[in-house]
Each structure stands twice: as structure tokens, then as C-alpha cells.
Structure 1
Amino acid sequence: MLILTLDRHNHSQLTDILSDDGWVVACLCAAWCGSCREYLTNFTALAQRHPQVQFAWIDIEDQAELVGDLDIDNFPTLLIQRGDVVAFLAPVEMDLRLAERILQSQMSKSVEELRAEAESSEERRLWQQEGNLLRRLTNS
């Protein structure tokens, strides 16, 4: 499956990947959002270019229990995580090339570099506390 549409039956798939220090790229979206529906084409293209990464489509309303109080400012929002480290969590432009650059930039870093960056600013520390998908999946 190219993109995993997260539902209550498949949380364990993402948990297993992240527990094994794997990469997950999640698009946090809403079914009613036209921009999200439009972005799905770019997200699918990105997934095709990176088969070694698990891509997930997370509807924040369908998965409200999982998303909880995570503050989503705008759609689409990407969450890029390796293992227990949130490498990126922010709204993105509709441009596929930008998402590609963000993902490649994160994937080029070692685990040590990712961990150091995770603690490098208040915003990134907040990502680790509030946006950590592995912790949210484990606690849901």
C-alpha cells in the first residue's frame, strides 16, 4: 500500500515502523478541505518516489482521539518522523518540490543530528512533546 489511510484498525502498522526506527511521513488533513484533497496527488507522487518510507494520510476529524489537542494551524500539514524523533511538523505549500526537499533534507541526517535538532529550539521541543506520532499511537 503506497499511502496508509489511518483508521482505528491499522495504528499498529505505523507503531511498528516507528518502533523499528523507520521513517513515516504523515499528512494531517480533513476530508472537507479542498486543499487537502488537491494535495493528495502530490503526496502520492512523493510516496512513489520514496518507497522506503511509510506515508500516511491522517484525517484529523476521523482520528480526533489520536490527534487530540495537537494544534493544526493550516492544511495540509506534514509530520515527518524517524523512530521517536519528530523531524518536521508544519503546514506546507502545495508544491511537490518543496515537500521533496524537506523530506530529503531530513533523511540525509544521522539519528544523532536529528536528535540534536529536536532539542535545538522551543518549537522543535514542542514538536517532540505534542506531535510525536509514536507516543500518540502508543497512548491511544
Structure 2
Amino acid sequence: MPKARLTVQQQFFGGSAEARRPGATFAQTMTATPAPLVACLCAAWCRVCDSYHEVFAELRARYPATRFVWVDIEEDEELIGDLEVETFPTLLVGLGSRLQFLGPITPQLATAERLLTSLAEAPATAAAPPSAQALLARLQQSCS
């Protein structure tokens, strides 16, 4: 089975309207929704990912109710499954069993915070690809 290709285009996925209140912050939305998860998909050889460790640690400190997971796509190839990540760092954000975002992100704290804030009010758009949704399910299961 060929791997799904993740391009440099960011992908926002539909979510539960009841989980997002207008004006709610990401932290409020995440605490109102079961099993919040932010995963960084990187590779050990990626120097940009090396520098992103500090940003990711700061995000973890700022959002204590959210689970943050660092995933090396080569070391954790079985976990990644059919999803092929081509650009680093790539973030996966899930609220419960719903995939909200999957895409590359520039390695600055402000960029990640803007993304997380925008997800609190993001309208439902497209359905997530099955390989991305399956990765979220595996991550949720491995983090529980």
C-alpha cells in the first residue's frame, strides 16, 4: 500500500462545534475536550527539529493540560504507519479522536501559539485522510 504524501500545505480538519466556544482560548478548548494531543513529527537527522525541542518544551509548559509528544518518524516508523512526512517539523493536533491539524510549521514559538489559538475557533472544513486519522488514534492509544 503506498504511503499518503503530506505536502508542505497545512491541513485543517473539521471539529466539534460544541468543543469550540467563540472567543475561547486553545487552553480552554483543550480542557473542555477529552484527550488533547499535540505531536511533533520529526527526524533525528533534522537540524531544524533539534532547535524545535526548546520551542516544544515551552509549549508544554504553557499548556499543562495538553499532552505533547515528540515522535521520531524513523525510530517510530511502526507508529507512523502509512503517513509519509516530507517537511519538518510537522505538527499533528488532535482533540479527542478528532484530528484538527496536520502540517509543517516554522520553528518559532509564536507560530505554534498562533496555530493553537486559531484551532480554538477554526470552522469545520475537510475530513482527515485515513492515514493521518489512524496515526492520531495510535498516538492517543500510546499516550493513555
Report how many aligned residue pairs link the two structures.
Answer: 108
**SS class of match (1:125):** coil
Q: CA deviation at 1:104?
A: 2.0
Matched, 1:81 2:83: no
| TM-score (ref. length: structure 2) | 0.67
Letter in 2 for 1:54: R
Q: Are the counterparts in 2 of residues 83 and 134 from structure 1 also a CA contact under 8 Å?
A: no
Report Cα offsets for 1:52-104 as digits up to 9, x if no partner: 10000001111101102202120000000011101010000011101011112
Q: Are the counterparts in 1 of residues 99 and 136 from structure 2 also a CA contact under 8 Å?
A: no
Residue 65 of structure 1 corresponds to which residue in structure 2?
Answer: 78
| TM-score (ref. length: structure 1) | 0.69
Fraction of identical pairs, as percent: 41
Q: CA deviation at 1:134?
A: 4.0
Unaligned residue ranges in structure 2 (runs of 5+): 1-32
Larger RCO (alpha carbons 8 Å, 6+ apart): 2
Q: How many Å separate the matches in 2 of 1:64 and 1:125?
A: 20
CA RMSD between the two structures: 2.1
Residue 46 of structure 2 corresponds to which residue in structure 1?
Answer: 33
Letter in 2 for 1:104: T
Residue 137 of structure 2 corresponds to which residue in structure 1?
Answer: 135
Q: How many Å separate the matches in 2 of 1:134 and 1:21?
A: 13
Poorly superposed stretches of 4+, deviation over 4 Å: none
